[in-house]
């Protein structure tokens, strides 16, 4: 199952907190031409480096399918960025 929602929270030390919800499916539909191009480039790269194409693409799909439940917490200087994938 692909991720359904990405939540991004930015918490600066001073100032206002920002929370953004990004639905994945509409973004995928809008960026589908880029996705087709990325798959074509990945296929050519697999052929150039003599990697089997279908197992490589299958591994990429498994990584995307495993993303729900992932959480990234990044802190740099005075800002914290929290990314949650559901």
Domain spans in the chain, listed from the N-terminal domain onward: 5-85
Helix axes 53-65, 32-48, angle to 10 degrees: 140
DSSP letters along 38-80, please? HHHHHHHHHHHTT--HHHHHHHHHHHHHT-TT-EEEEEETTEE
pLDDT, tens only, 61-86: 999 999 999 999 999 988 999 999 99
CA 22 to chain centre: 11
pLDDT, tens only, 11-65: 998 888 999 999 999 999 999 999 999 999 999 999 999 999 999 999 999 999 9
Q: pTM of the entire structure?
A: 0.78
**Cα 30 to Cα 73: distance, rounded to the nearest angstrom:** 27
- Calculated CA dihedral for residues 56, 59, 60, 63, nearest 10 degrees: -160
């Amino acid at each position: 199952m692909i991720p359904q929602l990405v939540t991004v929270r930015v918490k600066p030390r001073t100032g206002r907190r920002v929370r953004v919800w990004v639905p994945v499916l509409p973004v995928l539909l809008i960026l589908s031409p880029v996705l087709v191009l990325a798959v074509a480039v990945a296929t050519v790269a697999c052929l150039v480096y003599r990697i089997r194409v279908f197992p490589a693409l299958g591994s990429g799909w498994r990584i995307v399918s495993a993303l729900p439940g992932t959480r990234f917490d990044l802190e740099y200087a005075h800002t914290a960025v929290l990314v949650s994938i559901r």
